[in-house]
Structure 1
Amino acid sequence: MAWIVRGEFRKLWIGQLVSASGSAVTTVALPLVAVVNLQASAVEMGALSALTIAPHLVFGLLAGVWVDRWSRRRVLIRTDIGRLLLLGSVPVAAAAGVLRIEQLYAVAVLTGVLTLLSDTASQTMIPVLVPRDDLMRANSAALLNINLASTLGPSVAGFLVQVLTAPFAIVIDAASYVVSAIASYLIREPARAPAPERSEVRLSAGLRVLFGDRVLQPLVISAGIAAMTGAMQAPLTVLYLIRDLHKSPAFVGLSLTTFGAAAVAGTLVAGAWCRRVGIGRSYLSGVLLASVSGVAFATGSTPVILAGQVCAGLGMSLFGVPQRTLRQALAPTHLLGQVTASWRTLVIGGQTIGAATSGVVATAVGIRPTLLLATGGMLAGLLVAVLSPLRTLRDVPDREPAGDR
């Protein structure tokens, strides 16, 4: 995979790796600022968490329209600068003794909007910077950034918070956007076709592409179902491990690290696996592997739980790389932003619903049955893909994207 990180894509890859690593620090540090420095209540913590996700649901479709009309390179630069200023305001306010929970709310919302735009722009820029035949390798490299950051970031964040205190640990994230902005500034973005007239722009354009393509339609339905039901597990696993299984906090950390390490390993082999079994079956095998974690947790066995985390981490990469690649290859070039944003809105929206309902379901039937129900839901998403053309799809279809014909 390393050889694909070259040319203009290398600049994008470096910038996104640095900013993702910084963001992983803030993911831990910002809630700690609320808890430690502002003594936030459970309601305030819930609001802070919700406001972080809300931009993806409220502005997701709009973000796609904006990215398709603007220079992606400028979007990356401006969103980096915006996040630098927003996050930098937290340690400044803390040092001045004027930090309030309302400021954290504003930072969470505004950085969420900028991150939405940045992520949409970076994903839609990949097929512009690399040849079609290299899309899978490029997506593996891009997903490696996310997995490395999410695996190492929390540990680094904990150390920085211990040494610097939470508000000043956020300085690291703010500084990361300086590097990312410089890397984005150096990208030579290829010329693009003129944006469509405003009268021709529809918020539903991305959705029409996703649901109008014989490959993308089952893919988005399958991914949406799997994301929604899979997200039911995340809020419950720590509670289940500690309260029901009486595991130590160290074991919780070990299980999360095991998942992250497996996800990193998965990105390194995803391209080769796609070529060996076919891009469609790589997606199917990834969802299947990811779904077993709920059953593994339900057994209560330490070795089985850790094995389940290995499977889930590998699975996330094995289905993540092909679904990104198919979306980028089959979406119309002039609608890449809207298709990407529509996908993220549906999938993140599904995750939000799953996470929000997990507590209600667990209260009604118990945590262990809820974990098993989540596995059943992910397998239902897998079944949608199995009964579709994805089952026999070996390579990215060699045709023009829908809507470009």
Structure 2
Amino acid sequence: MRWRRSPEFLKLWTAIGISAAGSAVSGVALPLVAVVGLGASAGEMGVLAALRVVPHLVLGLAVGVWVDRVSRKGLMVGADLGRAGLLGAIPLLAATGDLGMGYLYVAAALVGALTVVSDTASLALLPALVRREELVEANSASMLSQTLASTAGPSAAGVLVQAVSAPFAIAVDAVSYVGSAVATYLIKEPPRGEQPRTQKQTLGVKELFGDPVLNPLVRSATVAAVAGAMQGPLVVLYLVRDLGWSAVQLGLAVTALGVASVVGALVAPAYSRRLGTGRAYLIGQSVAAGAGFALALAWWPFVFVGQVMAGLGMTLYGVPQRALRQARMPDHLLGRTTAAWRTLVIGGQTVGALVGGLVGTLLDLRAALVISSLGMLAGVVLAYFSPVRSTR
């Protein structure tokens, strides 16, 4: 692959992979600290989970402007070291008996805020480290490392928690952020030209909706995100309560999704080149939309087909849409347009999860899965009848 000839991108790719692996561990270990170590209630767990997401919605647009004004590499290093310190304090406080839910709340919120900074800066820095024609391959490699981490990380976290306890498993994540900071620090960040004065105060939303290709793309992705997130809180409940699946069967289904995501990231470059980025996005989103229909059939082979479709589709549409955004925006707007995109899409996922729970309660879980997939297909239609379809 051509991107392998870019030593600066390889450093960024290494940093992303290291921090993603550590984050996958703490994603399991942190809730266990709250539940097992501190006896957290369901309400407290809900607050803890929400505090990790809220910064994406509250800070996203402002962070985007900041990322376009200062060194992106410097922001990433600072965010990594900040997260290392916040998480590294958890095992120390646990060892002295001073750890409480108050600190976990603070750590969750601040780690979430620093993650917004780091993710936005890394997505904006990536296009400066590879050539334009390598964007799809570079994004595929980046997504592959994150997917591998999210697939293998929970299992590794379980082993670590069993071996050394949940608070000390979080120390692994803290160390991973230090490693990520070192890899990022070694990147030679290319100089940026002077930012046009007329665009300094924008937040990126105007630029996204002002582009003839990105306008329908962001509308499509936001609608699909709202609809797709309806399935998030329902799938486990559906498999366990309605279908009577065991924990082993559930684990196999989750593994199938993870493996399909890895396969999707591996084939995404050739797939996107063959079809063109616009059609690759449309087909990938359509594949992901079919997952809910397959799950609703309620027969175990179709459940696994649905999980494979969800994992495969996620990367087959995710890689080309990232490349399209990066290719169509100038460098001085990449930070804010990336942040604007993430605010809309992550905000949509928050709304979708709440709507999914409501629909699943008022109707039933199978109906909610079907409605979710229909909503995702509506997002595909928005992009199909637009310049996205013919964009290469």
Same fold (TM over 0.5): yes
Equivalent-residue separation in structure 1 for 2:106 and 2:93 (angstroms): 13
Match of 1:336 among 324, 330, 334: 334
Q: Is the 1:61–1:203 Cα contact (8 Å) retained in structure 2?
A: no
Q: CA deviation at 1:2?
A: 7.6
Q: Is the 1:57–1:348 Cα contact (8 Å) retained in structure 2?
A: yes
1:402 — aligned with what?
none
TM-score by length of 2: 0.98
Measured at CA, do residues 337 and 3 of structure 1 come closer, stay the same or move farther in structure 2, by a change above 3 Å? closer
Number of residue pairs aligned between Structure 1 and Structure 2: 392
Give per-residue Cα distances to partners, 1:148-178, cap 9 Å, x unaligned.
1111111111111111111110000000011
Give per-residue Cα distances to partners, 1:291-313, cap 9 Å, x unaligned.
11111111111111111111211
1:18 — aligned with what?
18
Give per-residue Cα distances to partners, 1:298-342, cap 9 Å, x unaligned.
111111111111121111111001100000011122111000000
Q: Is the 2:14–2:183 Cα contact (8 Å) retained in structure 1?
A: yes
RMSD: 1.2
Q: CA deviation at 1:195?
A: 4.4
1:403 — aligned with what?
none
Q: Is the 1:279–1:322 Cα contact (8 Å) retained in structure 2?
A: yes
Is residue 322 from structure 1 mapped to residue 320 from structure 2 by the alignment?
A: yes
Equivalent-residue separation in structure 2 for 1:354 and 1:170 (angstroms): 30
Give per-residue Cα distances to partners, 1:344-379, cap 9 Å, x unaligned.
000000001011221111111111100110001000
Equivalent-residue separation in structure 1 for 2:256 and 2:20 (angstroms): 20
Letter in structure 2 aligned against 1:321:
V
Q: CA deviation at 1:28?
A: 0.7
Is residue 134 from structure 1 mapped to residue 134 from structure 2 by the alignment?
A: yes
Equivalent-residue separation in structure 1 for 2:327 and 2:268 (angstroms): 17
Aligned partner of residue 300 in structure 1, secondary structure: coil
Is residue 60 from structure 1 mapped to residue 81 from structure 2 by the alignment?
A: no
Measured at CA, do residues 200 and 319 of structure 1 come closer, stay the same or move farther in structure 2, by a change above 3 Å? closer
Letter in structure 2 aligned against 1:168:
F
2:302 — aligned with what?
304
Q: CA deviation at 1:5?
A: 6.4
Equivalent-residue separation in structure 2 for 1:389 and 1:200 (angstroms): 25
**Can you give the 5+ residue segments of structure 1 that lack an aligned partner in the other structure?**
396-405
Q: Is the 1:232–1:354 Cα contact (8 Å) retained in structure 2?
A: yes
2:144 — aligned with what?
144
Report 1:169-248 matches (<5 A): 169-195=169-195, 201-204=200-203, 206-248=204-246
Q: Is the 2:2–2:134 Cα contact (8 Å) retained in structure 1?
A: no
Report 1:112-127 matches (<5 A): 112-127=112-127
Is residue 349 from structure 1 mapped to residue 347 from structure 2 by the alignment?
A: yes
Give per-residue Cα distances to partners, 1:14-60, cap 9 Å, x unaligned.
01100000001111111111100111111100000110100000000
Equivalent-residue separation in structure 2 for 1:299 and 1:195 (angstroms): 53
Q: Is the 2:3–2:134 Cα contact (8 Å) retained in structure 1?
A: no
Equivalent-residue separation in structure 2 for 1:209 and 1:140 (angstroms): 25
Equivalent-residue separation in structure 2 for 1:12 and 1:54 (angstroms): 26
2:257 — aligned with what?
259
Equivalent-residue separation in structure 2 for 1:341 and 1:23 (angstroms): 20
Measured at CA, do residues 2 and 41 of structure 1 come closer, stay the same or move farther in structure 2, by a change above 3 Å? farther
Q: Is the 2:232–2:353 Cα contact (8 Å) retained in structure 1?
A: yes
Identical aligned residues as a percent: 55
Give per-residue Cα distances to partners, 1:197-217, cap 9 Å, x unaligned.
6x953353x101110011001
Q: Is the 1:281–1:392 Cα contact (8 Å) retained in structure 2?
A: yes
Match of 1:364 among 359, 362, 366: 362
Equivalent-residue separation in structure 2 for 1:25 and 1:322 (angstroms): 28
Give per-residue Cα distances to partners, 1:232-256, cap 9 Å, x unaligned.
1010010110011001111111111
Equivalent-residue separation in structure 1 for 2:8 and 2:367 (angstroms): 49
Measured at CA, do residues 221 and 262 of structure 1 come closer, stay the same or move farther in structure 2, by a change above 3 Å? same
1:168 — aligned with what?
168
